[in-house]
Amino acid sequence: MRVLTITNMYPRAGREGWGSFVQSQVDSLTRKGVEHDLMVIDGYRSKLAYLLAFFRLWWRCATRRYDVIHAHYGLCGLVARAQIGTPVVVSFCGDDLYGHSDAAGRPTPTSLFWVRLHKIMARTVDAVIVKSAAMGRLLPGIDVEVIPNGVDLDMFVPMPMAECRRKLGLADDRAYILFPYAPDRVRKNFAAVEQAVAKLNAEGGRRHEILLVSGRPNSDMPLFMSAADVLVLASYWEGSPNVVKEAMGCNLPIVSVDVGDVREIMGATDGCQICERTAEDIANKIRSVLSRGRRTDGRRAILHLGIERVADRVLAVYAGVRGRRRRRWIRSSAAS
């Protein structure tokens, strides 16, 4: 099977962590025998990249045959839908259905315009993948496949905290709160985490420090997760946050707001707690989790999200759209 993957998120120099989940899925499907061509749209450089992508797509489809085109993110789905000869699978990732956040956590009017276009486009493609059931509810009347991004459980493994802190030059006497995003990403709500940590430090005792990590290769993240005491997620919205699953793979305690499929992923894992989106409750939940003084058993709860198992589910979607397209072709040929 030959697949053209279209994405506006993919690791590259200077943006090593950007779209690592897309790369992981492509790699896992390649190991299962899928031949991939990759078309990356650098939309962060210029929106003109999406216009040029239409011509790039038409040239590729004119010079090479594909069994499936898989678009990651709604804007890429709009590009993929510009041709009708090859079945299209679209994976929605989060912002493409929720919108982009303003400073108060509300979706901006411009982003809602694109959300509307994405929802219309979703009714025209051959298959839709969403990362969580909550995202699926944003597409009423459309059959969706709920397939979270998989976790490389060979990469995200628990490692000795002391050794990881020594490698990173971190102190042994501090509690490190992992925030694995750039603080200026409005949707991630860094301000609430910062205020919560300030409250904890105002109480005295052990020093708490935010461990900011962004732009690092995905292969570096297990080191940071094993060095940290707790991961905190305070986002206004998420699809299916990869960082939560990866932290579970490293048995890192988690404090998170109830977004996407976080509650489902964490389940009843001891040492993982859902919090309100307030500095006070975030601080309370961090304090509670740290008082346990030990790691979680979260890895066991996400074995079903291993990247190879998820790849099998994506392969089943590919097979389904190819089968439906072939049956339509046979019926059309018979009728003529």
The span from the CA of 336 to the CA of 316, in Å, is 30
The three-point CA angle 252-258-259 to 5° equals 95
Give the mean pLDDT of the chain: 92
Residues 260 and 181 reside in one and the same domain: yes
Per-residue pLDDT, 325: 64
Q: Is the pLDDT of residue 164 over 60?
A: yes
**How far is Cα 3 from Cα 65, in angstroms, rounded to an integer?**
9
Check which CATH number belongs to the domain holding 311 and give it. 3.40.50.2000
CA 207 to chain CA mean position, Å: 31
* Look-up of token digits 């304090």: 287
Per-residue pLDDT band for 326 (boundaries 50, 70, 90) equals low
Q: Is residue 115 part of a domain?
A: yes
Q: Distance between CA atoms of 211 and 53, rounded to whole angstroms? A: 38
Structure tokens given for 17: 């962590």
The whole-number average pLDDT for the span 163-179 is 96
Q: Are residues 245 and 277 in the same domain?
A: yes
Contact indicator for 43, 49 with CB cutoff of 8 Å: yes
Q: 53 and 167 share a domain? A: no
Same domain, 165 and 85: no
Picking from 138, 125, 127, the residue whose alpha carbon sits closest to that of residue 81 is 125
For residue 333, the model assigns a pLDDT of: 47
Average pLDDT over residues 38-63: 92
Q: Which two tokens stand for residue 18?
A: 């950007």
Rounded to 5°, angle at Cα 85 from 80 and 86: 60
Q: At what angle do helices 279-292 and 190-202 cross, to 10 degrees?
A: 60
Read off the pLDDT band of 327 (50, 70, 90): low
The answer to whether residue 220 is domain-embedded is yes
Tens-place pLDDT, residues 264-284:
999 999 999 999 999 999 999
Domain match, 57 and 116 both: yes
Does 44 lie in the same domain as 128? yes
Distance, CA of 102 to chain centre: 20
Distances (CA, A) of 58 to 35, 53, 97, 189, 329: 19, 9, 26, 40, 22
What is the domain range of residue 286?
161-303
**Alpha carbon of 207 to those of 177, 181, 226, 287: distances in Å?**
11, 22, 18, 12
Tell whether 288 and 312 lie within a shared domain: no
Rounded CA Rg of the chain: 21
The residues, ordered by sequence, that sit 6+ positions from 98 with a Cβ below 8 Å of its Cβ are 107, 115, 138, 237, 239
Give, as one character, the DSSP assignment of residue 151: B
> Are 166 and 299 found together in one domain?
yes
Cα separations in angstroms, 25 against 91, 113, 174, 290:
12, 29, 36, 34
Identify whether 155 is part of a domain.
Answer: no
Tally of domains within the chain? 2
Which tens digits make up the pLDDT trace of 14-24? 777 788 889 99
Q: Are strands 35-40 and 2-7 parallel, antiparallel or unpaired?
A: parallel
Give ∠ CA 121-77-38 in degrees, rounded to 5.
165
The whole-number pLDDT of residue 101 equals 84
Query: Does one domain contain both 15 and 85?
Result: yes
99-119 confidence digits (pLDDT tens):
988 877 888 999 999 999 999
Whether the CB-CB separation of 232 and 177 falls below 8 Å is answered with yes
Residue 77 within any structural domain of the chain: yes
Both 291 and 199 in one domain: the answer is: yes
Phi, psi at residue 205, to the nearest 5°?
A: 80, -145
| For residue 28, pLDDT beyond 80 | yes
Q: Is residue 176 part of a domain?
A: yes
Which residue's entry shows tokens 């990866």? Answer: 246
In this structure, the answer to whether residues 113 and 78 fall within a common structural domain is yes
Would you say residue 257 lies in a domain? Answer: yes
More confident residue, 102 or 263: 263
9 plus 21 within the same structural domain: yes
- Please state, in angstroms and rounded to a whole number, the distance separating the CA atoms of residues 197 and 37: 45
